Amino acid sequence: MAGRNRRWTGGPVDRWTGLAAMGLAVIALACGGGEKAPAGGESAAAKAAPDTGPAPDSFRVAFETTRGNIVVQVNRAWAPNGVDRFYRLIGERFFDGDKFFRVVPGFVAQFGLNGDPKRNEPWFSRHIADDSVRHQNLKYTLTFASMMVPNTRSSQLFFNLKDNLNLDRMGFAPIGVVVEGQSVVDSLYSGYGEEPDQTSIGNLGNSYLDRAFPKLDAIKTARIVQVK
């Protein structure tokens, strides 16, 4: 299966290099509206792996980015498995230095591939079980990307740049919403669109992006700033 692209014709998926360590590049494409969707995952045989311990019921995360600050209110009741994974990634400072590598105006702004390829590899097979959709994919909500097969969320997420209600029907479960910095989300650099290749990001990290796509915005830090 090496080198074979998997084409999706239904909705957002993160173009995720699920089995990159084995040479399988997975690129999922969205349909509705013609945009490629945020994909995330590995393969149809992906296994869900629970994280250690639940996240708080409610907390806020501050993203310091090259465009400005974004604050997200995260609600575990919306998507418990997704929030637990997000809480773990924040705790491990996984998003520090990550680029917004896929910004499609009027659709999504996607991130969640680390600048250090050694930090990406362990997550290729660390998938979590799906959550039911309990909140709509409204503009400025934050949602995990996935392959269009069950239980393939891992480390990639996207901000909805409009009301993407078609994603609700496709099983994308938001975990939170931007409460400060909406204008920052809207201003993330989108000039490269779908060009950055996720397989190359997963394997080469920011060395690839800095060379080929130097204008991309990045997350400087992502920290929990409030817990309720």
pLDDT tens, residue by residue, 116-162: 999 988 888 899 999 999 999 999 999 999 988 899 999 999 999 99
> Is a pLDDT exceeding 90 seen at residue 39?
no
What's the pLDDT score for residue 148? 80
Residue 148, helix vs strand vs coil: coil
What's the pLDDT score for residue 138? 98
Least confident residue range of 20-24, 56-60, 176-180? 20-24
Contact between 213 and 196 under an 8 Å Cβ cutoff? The reply is yes
What's the pLDDT score for residue 194? 95
pTM for the whole structure: 0.83
Give the CATH H-level superfamily of domain 53-227.
Answer: Cyclophilin-like (2.40.100.10)
Contact between 201 and 208 under an 8 Å Cβ cutoff? The reply is yes
Q: How many CB atoms lie within 10 A of CB 129?
A: 15
> Is a pLDDT exceeding 80 seen at residue 47?
no
Give the residue-averaged pLDDT of 175-204: 97
Domain positions in the chain are 53-227
In tens, the pLDDT along 79-103 reads 999 999 999 999 999 999 999 999 9
Question: For 127, which DSSP code?
Answer: B
Residue 73, helix vs strand vs coil: strand
